[in-house]
Amino acid sequence: MQILVTVKEVGQLGDEVVIEDGEIAESALEYDLNEWDEYALESAVQLSEAYDDVEVVTATIGPERSDETIRMALAKGADRAVRIWDDALTADGAGDETPADGLLDTRVRVELLSAIVEREEPDLVLSGVQSADAAFASTGVALAEEIDDAWAAVVNDLEVDPDAGTASVHRELEGGIEELTDVPLPAVLTIQTGINEPRYASLRGIRQAQSKELTVLDLDDLGIGTDAVTGALETTALYEPETTSDATIWEGDAESTAGELAAFLRDSGVIEG
Amino acid sequence: MSDVLAVAEHRRGDLRPISHELITAGRELADATGGELHVAVISGDVEAFADSLNREGVDAIHTITDGEEFNHDLTVESLDALWSALDASYLVAPNSVNGLDYVPAIAQRLDLPLVTDAIGLSLEDGLEVTRERYGSKVETTVAVADDAGAVVSVRDGEWPPAEGVGDATVESFDPGVDESAIHSTVTGFQEVGAGDVDISEADFVVSIGRGIEEEENLELIERLVDATGATLAASRPVVDNEWLPKNRQVGQSGKTVTPDIYIAIGISGAVQHVAGMKGAETIVAINTDPDAPIFDIADYGIVGDLFEVVPALIEEFGGETA
Ligand SMILES: Cc1cc2nc3c(=O)[nH]c(=O)nc-3n(C[C@H](O)[C@H](O)[C@H](O)COP(=O)(O)OP(=O)(O)OC[C@H]3O[C@@H](n4cnc5c(N)ncnc54)[C@H](O)[C@@H]3O)c2cc1C
Ligand SMILES: Nc1ncnc2c1ncn2[C@@H]1O[C@H](COP(=O)(O)O)[C@@H](O)[C@H]1O
């Protein structure tokens, strides 16, 4: 069985938001493996431990910088990695590391990832529910439709029966209700946080990851023309939302702010005694 | 002139509130071009649903009787067929968990650009959608090229529900879905998060988020809870890590709480968390980040380190100091 895990390197904002030329300044971002993909990867690695002959391959669309994140995924148990990047996918069209707006269009991400699916022919594709930065929450399900796989979104419990060729999943709905669904393989599942306990990379894993295969492909390699990655969406503005806050902020050191809050709680009557 | 198709949502016999909000959002788009607003409702008691969906501004309701509960394959096939029968440009749908399960697929099927989780829409020179990135810390507008149309999913609670009684035509639509197109089978539902406490009944909730950093540190919050008699709750990452049981989770996929006072400690205020606590009478936030979105809905705030503020608070109430 082959499992393909889509892993995205996402930028995470610190306390300071710095916006330059209508984009978040790179200096304000820390790059890491997308939280949801961390859980998807763990699910895949656990399956590879539970069954014989399971290969776990990661797929990433991203600049060279992502290799560090990909190596971490390899250190945690993926067998090899594929990364797609091309000048045509960069904002300036010439290799800058900022992704082009084209990648906002789900159809473009699907075009690229489905080319990997075609090469690898996985039995199962695991992706995250959403990326923490762009948060479209659309890639996995759109990919499934494109490659004619079955699918399930927002999966927080997963059992795979490779012999029967099915996955039994729980889909986490709103309000503490889960939907129990059976999906035939090959399938694409979008994985929700909390489904498992993602492992830390061991030192041995980190060492081994260095020698695992990481294939980098560009549009030519995939036989995809630049037209197919233009996309129909364009970011026209990016800003910090105007605060709608009319909160009273208690100022001062910890003692005095805690004092204010304590006084407020006593006045409100919620504290007994 | 562009027509709009809005897709209603229901679960276990009830329309979900987003359905009426979608009518408002859809009407807005239709008005901008002088187009018509169509509403689709698939599976279940579609006639009763159609009655409720017939609000002011709806021109036509299409009922599809196949199935009882949501099934994404049936939904995609039905919408594909209905889309061909109509001449619409925009499809608006809920950004709900079931929305996540079919909206990307129908957009891909129809080869239309998709913009998800919209919090604002404008249609002047083409469609422009306002949405958030980085967990509500940044807002963007996204323009959709050309007039080929689009699929837009809409965040709940952003548009007011449509009111009044409309004079829409209600027509049954037969999408002619072949059974072989249905791949996934829903075998049941399960309620989770039962247990010793019901945080939704509490008057005073202290809720802890990822700011707590380590499981060992939870003991600090427990001392605060002991000293104040509050009920302990948490945001998702704390529960994902199994530091607290699922019945303590506040938010979209956890519990909805409506206490007199909700103190959010080390919680950023992501939309899925806020969904479960915005009904609290008074919200207090303690967070090191003055720009954390939680302050937008807070009534009182402390910009500070929980590892300093919470011990001071425990001391105020004569609780056990470390
Ligand atoms: C389909 C779906 C359903 C979801 N359902 C839920 C749900 O039901 N409930 C839920 O909560 N989330 C839910 N989420 C997750 C949600 O999107 C957020 O990821 C989550 O709410 C973030 O939790 P947090 O605020 O604790 O963590 P973060 O967003 O990481 O925020 C931590 C905060 O702590 C602050 N902080 C750090 N250190 C300190 C310190 N020393 N003192 C004070 N403050 C500090 C930081 O400034 C930051 O604001 C869902 C997501 C999806 C996609
Ligand atoms: N650039 C990318 N490279 C690899 N996987 C991606 C990329 N973008 C999105 N994905 C996958 O799709 C999921 C949902 O992302 P999104 O639709 O962007 O919110 C993520 O959790 C990833 O698994």
What's the pLDDT tens digit per position in A226-260? Answer: 999 999 999 999 999 888 788 999 999 999 999 99
Cβ of B316 and A15 within 8 Å? no
Residue B9, pLDDT > 70, answer yes
Same domain, B58 and B163: yes
Structural domain contains residue B308: yes
A154: Cβ below 6 Å to ligand 1?
A: yes
Pair (B172, B210) in one structural domain? no
Residue B68 CB partners (closer than 8 Å, separation 6+): B43, B44
Residue B24 has pLDDT above 90, yes or no: yes
Q: What is the pLDDT of residues A144-171, one digit of tens each?
A: 999 999 999 999 999 999 999 999 999 9
The residues in A 181-200 lying below 8 A from B, measured between CB atoms, are 181-184, 190, 193-194, 197
- Please report the pLDDT score of residue B196 as a whole number: 78
B151 to chain A: which residues are within 8 Å by CB?
none
Is B93 within the bounds of a domain? yes
> Contact A113/A61 with Cβ under 8 angstroms?
yes
Per CB-CB distance under 8 Å, the chain B contacts of A144 are 105
B172 and B223 both lie in a single domain: no
Whether B256 is in the pocket of ligand 1, judged by its Cβ within 6 Å, is no
Distance, CA of B168 to chain centre: 27
Residue B135, pLDDT score: 83
Question: Hey, are the CB atoms on A152 and B141 less than 8 Å from each other?
Answer: no
Determine, yes or no, domain membership for B193. Answer: no
Domain count, chain B: 2
CATH number for position B217: 3.40.50.1220
Domain membership flag for residue B186: no
Q: Which residue range(s) make up the domain with B158? A: 3-181
Q: Is residue B81 part of a domain?
A: yes
What's at A126, amino acid-wise?
L
- Whichever domain contains B168, its CATH number is 3.40.50.620
d(CA A164, CA A185): 9
User: Of B152, B181, B210, which residue sits at a domain end?
Assistant: B181
Residue B78 is assigned to a structural domain of this protein: yes
For residue B322, is it within any domain? no
DSSP letters, A37-78, are HHHHHHHHHHHHHHSSS-EEEEEEE--GGGHHHHHHHHHTT-
State whether B128 and B221 are in the same domain.
Answer: no
Is B191 a member of any domain? Answer: no
Question: Residue B319: CB within 6 Å of ligand 1?
Answer: no
Tokens 């509403």, located at residue: B39
Distance (Å) from CA B236 to ligand 1 centroid: 7
Alpha carbon of B252 to ligand 2 centroid (Å): 22
Same domain membership, residue B230 and residue B106: no
Q: Which of B149, B181, B213 is the last residue of a domain?
A: B181
Question: Is the Cβ–Cβ distance between B44 and B13 less than 8 Å?
Answer: yes
Residue A25's alpha-carbon distances to A98, A120, B297, in angstroms, are: 10, 36, 27
Distance A132 CA to ligand 1 centre (A): 11
Strands (E), B17-135: 37-42, 60-64, 88-94, 114-118, 120-124, 126-133
- What domains, with CATH codes, occur in chain A? 2-229 (3.40.50.620)
- Could you tell me the pTM of the whole model? 0.97
Cα-only R_g, chain A: 22
Q: Are residues B169 and B271 in the same domain?
A: no
Residues B56 and B163 in one domain: yes
Closest residue on chain B to A197 (Cα) = B241
Q: Are residues B129 and B267 in the same domain?
A: no
For residue A172, give the ligand 1 atom closest to its CA.
Answer: 1
Instruction: Output the CA–CA distances (angstroms, integers) from residue B143 to A92, B85, B294, in the order listed.
Output: 19, 27, 28
ipTM, two decimals, is 0.96
Please check whether residues B160 and B40 belong to one and the same domain: yes
Same-domain check for residues B15 and B73: yes
Considering the domain architecture, whether residues B15 and B117 belong to the same structural domain is answered as: yes
Segment B244-266 shows an average pLDDT of: 97
Within this chain, do residues B166 and B41 fall inside the same structural domain, yes or no? Answer: yes
